[in-house]
Amino acid sequence: MQVIEQTLALKTDDAKQHALQAGPRDTLRLWRYAGFALPVVFLAAIEALVRASVLPMHLVPAPSTILQSLGDLGGARVVRHIGATIARVYAGFALGSLLALMIGAAMGLSRRVDALLDPTFQALRAIPSLAWVPVLLLWMGIDEAPKITLIAIGAFFPVQLSVVAGIHGVDRKLIEFGELNRLTSRAMFTRILLPASMPQIFTGLRTGLSLAWMFMVAAELIAATRGLGYLLSDGRETGRPDLVFGAILLLALLGKLSDGAFKLIETRALSWRDARHVSGDAQ
């Protein structure tokens, strides 16, 4: 009888704990739904304000007008613009982030390499994206190479900086633990330094991906005939704000989708973390 009572008490406690955890999770789910609904509400408000002549249509076209203009371009043509942009962004991001991971790891592991390269990278990081355009045109012509290179430059610096900062920020106690266990340099890197710095590295990768989308607009100013940057520039030159805002909305949507996919990869790759937001706490 006593065993049955203890079992029932344990089940009751588990049910109470589950109910307490379900409350914050349900609230968080509602906030997430609200987050997805917010842009829709914003666009609906813009539509209403334009239709009521509060906002001038020649400066801020209604979302319905933007969708109609994109439809008039033809689905196949819009898909070609989107495909060209996505290919350039991910090619440049892959190239820039791969170089950043290798160089950043070398700088994080060696103080000499860091002291040698850091002043140069700090200077190069301050150069605006448009300042690279004439240089890349002079060196590489007007083909795809300068476009992808410019996007790679945009992705390189935040990833490189996050790798160096992540390795430098590893807890000293973890390093001492590896030294006590006589880990080799390779084992120290793969088993302690790299896992401990991965959260910051993923943050840098997501930042690099967002900058790749930004640099893409400047890249597609280099004699491009396809891409969302070209569509945006073409709308500006022909006085078509509907095309300009259409390209902006497509860029925002693609940027959100790519960041969401990368965030999902980050969550699964770093599922071992016992962090506050990973544990599901909500406020």
All structural domains of the chain with their residue ranges: 1-55, 63-269
Range 251-280 average pLDDT: 79
pTM: 0.81
pLDDT score, position 2: 46
What's the mean pLDDT in 219-230? 82
CA distance 75 to 73: 7
Tell me if 77 sits within 8 A of 133, measured CB to CB: no
What does the pLDDT look like over 153-185, one tens digit per residue? 999 999 999 999 999 888 888 888 887 887 787
What distance in Å separates the CA atoms of residue 190 and residue 98, rounded to the nearest whole number?
A: 17
As a whole number of angstroms, the distance between CA 79 and CA 227 comes to: 9
Task: Decide: 162 and 204 in contact? Cβ < 8 Å.
Answer: yes
Give the ranges where the chain is alpha helix by DSSP (H). 2-51, 63-73, 75-109, 111-125, 129-140, 144-168, 172-180, 185-188, 194-219, 228-237, 241-269
Q: For the chain, how long is the longest CA-to-CA vector?
A: 87
pLDDT, mean of residues 230-238:
85
Residue 129: closest CA among 226, 64, 188, 212: 212
Tokens of 27: 């609230």
Which pairs count as long-range contacts for 63-69, CB under 8 Å and 24+ apart, including other chains? 63/249, 65/242, 66/242, 66/245, 66/246, 66/249, 67/246, 68/242, 69/240, 69/242, 69/243, 69/246
Highest mean pLDDT (candidates 20-24, 86-90, 192-196, 240-244) = 86-90
Tell me the CATH number for domain 63-269. Answer: 1.10.3720.10
Residue type, 256: K
Give, rounded to a whole angstrom, the gap between the first and last alpha carbons of the chain.
42
Are 104 and 161 a contacting pair, CB within 8 Å? yes
Q: What percent of the chain has pLDDT over 70?
A: 87
Burial readout 87-98 (b: 16 or more C-beta within 10 A, e: otherwise): ebbbbbbebbbe
More confident residue, 222 or 256: 256
Q: What is the pLDDT of residue 11?
A: 46
Helix (H, G, I), strand (E, B) or coil at 60: coil
Is 132 or 12 the better-scoring residue by pLDDT? 132
pLDDT tens sequence across 18-44? 444 455 667 878 887 777 788 888 888
What average pLDDT does range 50-54 have in this prediction?
A: 84
Q: Does the pLDDT at position 84 exceed 60?
A: yes
Give, as one character, the DSSP assignment of residue 193.
I
Mean pLDDT of the 128-135 span = 84
Provide the pLDDT for residue 10.
Answer: 45
What CA–CA distance (Å, rounded) separates 69 from 49? 19
The average confidence (pLDDT) of the chain is: 82
